[in-house]
């Protein structure tokens, strides 16, 4: 091939509209890739800040408007692989679950009522001291039930028996057994975004409710196909793709039109998918 003819063809190609269009397309490709890379870096920075705060945060407890105690703490946002390195305790809990875990929270709750609280909540209509049952000449047992109704959803019902010993007109307490307990506790728990940070919380009106420990994780939704299927897709400019393909274009070697192989760029403008 004549060198001058090749150079002339290249020069003609560089001064053609096709070269201009190709330059624009390549510029757009690099711009889109740069935006995508910057978006990934910003997303990772958000995750890193979230998880660093989760590692060092402590439980915050406040009283809500309806008088319930709400305890919350910053949660993790991690893939399962990252969770294994960051919090092995939560990772083991995730692995024990069947199916694909989306989010998991765990808490240690302490319940403690004082004398005044119990007295105020005693449901006398459902509290009973049964008739004494004679065991032998000097020993008696009394069955009893104590019911504490804190509100319509939170209560305790204790049942047992007390053994008394009688000797020379004196009565002594010998022993007491708790034989059954029924407790109902209304709990609200979940995750909330507060000040651009994910927090896990647990809340209850049960008196003496205290959260001793609390932690939680949201498994990175970008790695979950099910979550992706629930996200409403973008209608306008839903996405772009870059690849390699064949097309008809200008051939600088011949100075004419020919088949070329090169990079391709596809930009979606509108999506009809629901």
| Domain ranges across the chain | 3-42+232-267, 115-184
Quick check: 159 and 126 in contact, CB under 8 A? no
Q: Give the integer Cα–Cα distance in Å for 210 and 70.
A: 9
Cβ neighbours for 222, distance < 8 A, ≥ 6 positions apart = 228
Comparing C-alpha atoms, which of 103, 111, 62, 65 is closest to residue 200? 103
Tens-digit pLDDT string for the chain (274 aa): 566 666 676 667 667 777 666 777 777 666 667 666 666 777 778 888 889 999 999 999 999 998 899 999 999 999 888 999 989 999 999 999 988 889 999 999 999 999 999 999 999 999 999 998 999 988 999 999 999 999 999 999 999 999 999 887 888 999 999 999 999 999 999 999 998 899 999 999 999 999 999 999 998 887 777 777 777 766 555 555 655 555 655 555 555 555 555 556 555 555 555 4
Q: Tell me, what's the pLDDT at 141?
A: 94
Q: Measure the CA–CA gap between 259 and 257, rounded to whole angstroms.
A: 7
121: CB partners within 8 A, 6+ apart: 113, 148, 149, 150, 207
Residues whose CB falls within 8 Å of the CB of residue 230, separated by 6 or more in sequence, listed in order? none
Residue 229: the pLDDT is 77
């Amino acid at each position: 091939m004549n060198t001058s003819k090749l150079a002339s063809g290249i020069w003609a190609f560089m001064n053609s509209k096709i070269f201009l269009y190709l330059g624009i397309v390549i510029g757009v490709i690099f711009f889109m890739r740069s935006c995508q890379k910057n978006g990934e870096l910003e997303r990772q920075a958000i995750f890193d800040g979230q998880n660093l705060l989760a590692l060092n945060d402590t439980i915050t407890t406040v009283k809500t408007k309806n008088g319930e105690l709400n305890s919350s703490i910053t949660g993790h946002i991690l893939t399962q692989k990252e969770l294994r390195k960051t919090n092995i305790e939560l990772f083991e809990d995730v692995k024990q679950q069947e199916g694909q875990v989306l989010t998991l929270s765990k808490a240690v709750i302490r319940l403690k009522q004082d004398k005044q609280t119990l007295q105020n909540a005693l449901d006398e209509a459902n509290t009973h001291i049964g008739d004494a049952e004679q065991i032998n000449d000097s020993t008696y047992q009394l069955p009893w039930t104590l019911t504490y109704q804190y509100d319509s959803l939170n209560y305790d019902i204790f049942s047992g028996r007390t053994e008394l010993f009688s000797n020379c007109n004196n009565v002594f307490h010998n022993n007491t057994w708790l034989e059954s307990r029924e407790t109902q506790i209304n709990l609200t728990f979940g995750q909330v975004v507060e000040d651009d940070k994910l927090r896990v919380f647990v809340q209850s009106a049960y008196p003496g409710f205290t959260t001793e420990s609390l932690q939680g994780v949201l498994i990175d939704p970008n790695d979950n196909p099910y979550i992706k299927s629930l996200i409403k897709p973008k209608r306008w400019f839903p996405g772009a793709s870059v690849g390699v393909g064949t097309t008809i274009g200008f051939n600088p070697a011949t100075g004419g039109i020919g088949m070329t192989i090169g990079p391709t760029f596809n930009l979606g403008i509108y999506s009809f998918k629901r």
